[in-house]
Amino acid sequence: MTDLLLLTRRERFRIFAVRVGGGIGPSLVLALVVAALGGGAVAVAIAFLGILLGLVVATTARTNRGAVVGGVVTAVVLLLLQLVIAWFVTHPIEKS
């Protein structure tokens, strides 16, 4: 653990890159799984939202572990969002 004051630019960039990978990675894995299962437009939406939210997580996380946990939480929330949207679209009340 360091206070980041005496680190070089390269070291700071490496730490940031690890946090970005931890924040964005789980959402991109989810998008790849959805794309492999045949959800093209949904996969693009998950990837887009996952990248945006992953950048927020990566810039606000204090540790690498926090970035990974935030990335996993983001991926789970995006999956739940897609399930709720699918439930609303296929709800029987709308079929009239």
Q: How far is Cα 91 from Cα 9, in angstroms, rounded to an integer?
A: 53
Residues 6+ apart with CB under 8 A from 55: 20, 23, 24
Q: How far is Cα 37 from Cα 16, in angstroms, rounded to an integer?
A: 32
Q: Which pairs with CB-CB distance under 8 Å and at least 24 residues apart come from 9-15?
A: 15/64
- The structure tokens 């980041």 sit at 4
Expressed in angstroms, the distance from the first to the final Cα of the chain is 60
State the 10-residue block means of pLDDT for the chain, 96 residues long. 78 92 93 92 92 92 92 94 87 69
- The structure tokens 């296929």 sit at 90
